[in-house]
Structure 1
Amino acid sequence: MTAIDVTGLVKRFGDRTVVDHVSMKVARGEIVGFLGPNGSGKTTTIRIMCGLLTPDEGEGTVLGFDLRKEGRRIRREVGYMTQKFSFYEDLTIAENLEFVARLYELKPVAAHVTRTLEELGLASRRGQLAGTLSGGWKQRLALAACVMHKPKLLLLDEPTAGVDPKARRDFWDEIHHLAADGLTVLVSTHYMDEAERCHRIGYIAYGRMLATGTVEEVIRDAGLSTFVVRGLDLQRLAAEVSALPGVEQAAPFGTTLHVVGSDRDRLAASLAPLAERPGISVEPGQTSLEDVFIKFMGDAQDNMGGDNMQ
């Protein structure tokens, strides 16, 4: 079963094309990461998916409902977590959830609130004012509000921005628990470790979908090769290596320098003289998702002339 099946989505604001012929399929129960630079069209695409915006072109279905004609029905079945915490800070956790329960006409309100508090681990804090919560607990409250009406699709727009690593891990454990029960999740993120926890990922830049697939497939299809350089004075070495033929990226990682290029033979030939110097080693390395995305960003900026989209 397919939760999202859209083709050729286009959205313009004035003379700017923010979403440019985006197509996507997401299976039920799948967690799909949606990645791209700021201003790439991720948020606009997500708002189209949940029925808040109507595309100017394109068609498709979300949860079996027509994207153009049945936006209201889509919204009833979707949980949408925005980037910004959007609950009343002068109300308690329980009072915020009571408000949400009434919006969705859930009855009895108290039973739905109690169930949600228990399922999301918020019961012990039900009387705490939302404004006094840490970033991680605010995130948990926002997630609770998104899932209390038992949606079939969860759309998360950079949900873990500004929270600590422990809270991020707890959040993702909860997402995988929900997906195991059949919930479909589309999540935008800038964090590579979060992308690697998704079943599949899609990369969008300047409104265009550049790559989709599993993490392994996206890395493989990017066609990059990576070498790891070790030696003293990495900063000077990085400047020297960056100017060599075939080098597209040269970035320090701790005590090593990761050197990336599309032409493996050319890259190896350029780095070979370095390996002959005392105290310097050059070894083949693993291309990372971050390496791939930096390449995508550079290519997209070249293609678009540096223009940005919101």
Structure 2
Amino acid sequence: MTLAIDVHGLNKSFGDKHVVQDVDLAVEQGRICGFLGPNGSGKTTTLRMLCGLLTPDSGEGQALAFDVIRQAAEIKRRTGYMTQRFSLYEDLTIAENLQFTARVYGLDRRTERVEQALERLGLKERRNQQAGALSGGWKQRLALANAILHEPQLLLLDEPTAGVDPKARRAFWDEIHALSGEGLTVLVSTHYMDEAERCHEIAYISYGRLIARGTAEAVVKASNLVTLRGEGPGADRLVHELNGKRAVETVAPFGAALHVSGDDRKALEAAVAPYKQVRWREVEPTLEDVFIQLMGRAQDNFQ
């Protein structure tokens, strides 16, 4: 097994805020790892430390066999990074943005590389369109084309599909899996549970600490969470009544149904028993159920 990322005990503080706390992370070459967690939990800071944009306060490890502290410049050259917000030049065309990036990296065969990127991401017909006039989905394609133009070995994606329609998201993920199949290692932060389930494995960070790691199935199983699904008249309106009851850790409506979760089956059944108008049955917890539980148990390091 060849590890593209292998870091231990990463820490980063900004002033008195300890944003990343003793994070260990290992990702095998060619794998897609979903990086999940609430806003402000340290995902972006961790990504920036891995690609050499930020220097850890402490910790050690390697990315692409280079030391994350002493050889950050080497990691930068071999990493593609797609930021949360569209960060290319909006007054340049699609092709001009890619040509500019090719020059910044000092790439050979610039014209050929740009043409290949345009073809691969379906941008050829729009090559002369200004980047600022593109919709969210097309901006996303351009940003991905830009991030892989220099043929990186590691791709870091920071919430790349936020605000993008479902069809564009699916096309994006099809391309990510194709790149992974070619040996590219991908670490992607996301808030979408369906995207997390498309990753080979996931890592959940909450307020600076990595608290869950493994495949989606393994994380759900390790949670020991019991989930009851309620269906019937007014089931989805019981959220406030059930919140705070003993043994009830999370309550979440799913359409007209309700998911009530906790780690004590008997106590959970007792909590929902008074609501006889609702049909209750035990179901497999979803990844969303587990993450809501993890968020509820974590302590906000900014408080």
Report if aligned partners of 2:227, 2:283 keep a CA contact under 8 Å in 1: yes
Cα separation, 1, equivalents of 2:251 and 2:35 = 26
Q: Deviations over 1:88-136 (max 9, x none)?
A: 1111100000000001111232111111111221111111111111100
Cα separation, 1, equivalents of 2:129 and 2:259 = 47
**TM-score scaled by length of structure 2:** 0.96
2:233 is paired with a residue of what secondary structure?
coil
Question: Given residue 40 of structure 1, which amino acid in structure 2 is its aligned partner?
Answer: S
Mapping of 1:1-310 within 5 angstroms? 1-274=2-275, 277=276, 279-301=277-299, 304=300, 307=302
Displacement of 1:83 after TM fit?
0.5
**TM-score scaled by length of structure 1:** 0.94
Cα separation, 2, equivalents of 1:228 and 1:282 = 6
Q: Give the direction of change, closer, same or farther, for the CA distance of 1:26–1:236 in structure 2 (3 Å limit).
A: closer
Greater shift after overlay, 84-93 or 263-272? 263-272
Cα separation, 1, equivalents of 2:134 and 2:120 = 18
Q: Size of the alignment, in residue pairs? A: 302
Cα separation, 2, equivalents of 1:107 and 1:236 = 61
Question: Given residue 288 of structure 1, which amino acid in structure 2 is its aligned partner?
Answer: T
Q: Which runs of 5+ in 1 are unaligned?
A: none
Cα separation, 1, equivalents of 2:272 and 2:132 = 54
Q: Deviations over 1:232-281 (max 9, x none)?
A: 1235533333354311222221121111111112212333443xx3x431
Greater shift after overlay, 230-239 or 120-129? 230-239
Q: CA RMSD in A?
A: 1.3
Q: Deviations over 1:163-210 (max 9, x none)?
A: 111111100000000000000000000111110000000010111001
Q: Give the direction of change, closer, same or farther, for the CA distance of 1:84–1:238 in structure 2 (3 Å limit).
A: closer
Question: Given residue 73 of structure 1, which amino acid in structure 2 is its aligned partner?
Answer: E
Cα separation, 2, equivalents of 1:282 and 1:297 = 25
Question: Given residue 292 of structure 1, which amino acid in structure 2 is its aligned partner?
Answer: V
Cα separation, 2, equivalents of 1:142 and 1:243 = 44
Q: Percent identity?
A: 59
Cα separation, 2, equivalents of 1:245 and 1:207 = 28
1:291 is paired with a residue of what secondary structure?
helix
Cα separation, 1, equivalents of 2:207 and 2:290 = 16
1:166 is paired with a residue of what secondary structure?
helix
Displacement of 1:287 after TM fit?
0.5
Cα separation, 2, equivalents of 1:33 and 1:7 = 18
Question: Given residue 161 of structure 1, which amino acid in structure 2 is its aligned partner?
Answer: A
1:54 is paired with a residue of what secondary structure?
coil
Cα separation, 2, equivalents of 1:257 and 1:192 = 18
Cα separation, 2, equivalents of 1:88 and 1:239 = 47
